Structure 1
């Protein structure tokens, strides 16, 4: 082979590599766009501030409107009527609960009074109380014992009437 021809073949790839390197370096030399001027940043901040103030004003306006509507609703005749019904219902619940406690206390007192009588068997006599009316059910050894059961029940405070259903029979 001829040495004249070898040199250009060896030089050609080197020239090609150098050209690619030069192009790469020239591409790196391109400048990046400068940051936005200070005036653009200030304008964006002002715009954000204005939007925030507008949103806060709208929120305050809506809150005031909601408060006014709530006050108007609470003062409406229908709400007042409903509140009165609730108060009445609570009073009735309290009265009913007190009556139940009173009835239970009356029942216990009548049962205790019957237990003190030697002829009456408190265990065999059922005592029920509802709204101050005492109902006696069970056996009584005599008509006199039956009458005493009525008297014992009537002697307890809070008893309005006595329904004596005791049956006279020998025990």
Structure 2
């Protein structure tokens, strides 16, 4: 249990004890001996402590669930980044195989399966081929072909 969770549990327990002692029924105390009053106060305090423990347990469970959710989201983000990197690498490898296209002059960016091509192509046919190469890579959902055709 983390220090902050322990601190919260301690605060709840102390509060429960204080409320338990304060909650002693004044009207029921009349005519009771000191021992009976003490027994009643202890019983009320035990109930309050049990409630505090249940509340602390629920809070700890909620905190653990929140931590699991955060870890899962971080894992998903890492998988997405790895997928994007592998798509980018595959597109670059395809561009290198084409004799008219320069992988050095074409920038490939990938995010969530969307590939964006920027840079220069020597002609319209090469630009179209670059888009086709990117579309053929597994995991690509769409291609933004922002290549410009080299003038003259």
Do they superpose with TM above 0.5?
yes
What count of residue pairs does the alignment treat as equivalent? 104
Which residue in 2 is equivalent to 1:72?
A: 54
**Residue-by-residue CA offset, 1:87-125 (whole Å, 9 max, x unaligned):** 111111100001111101110000000010111100110
5+ residue gaps, structure 1: 1-67
TM-score of the superposition, structure 1-length normalised?
A: 0.55
Distance 1:70 1:119, change over 3 A: farther
5 Å matches for 1:9-158? Answer: 72=54, 74-76=56-58, 78-158=59-139
**RMSD, matched Cα:** 2.2
TM-score (norm 2): 0.62
Structure 1 segments of 4+ aligned residues over 6 angstroms from their partners: none
C-alpha displacement of 1:150:
0.7
Deviations 1:55-92 (A, max 9, x none): xxxxxxxxxxxxx799635522x332222211111111
Instruction: Give 1 or 2 for the bigger CA radius of gyration.
Output: 1
> Does structure 2 conserve the Cα–Cα contact (< 8 Å) formed by 1:128 and 1:134?
yes
- C-alpha distance in 1 between matches for 2:79 and 2:148: 32
> What residue in structure 1 maps to residue 23 of structure 2?
none
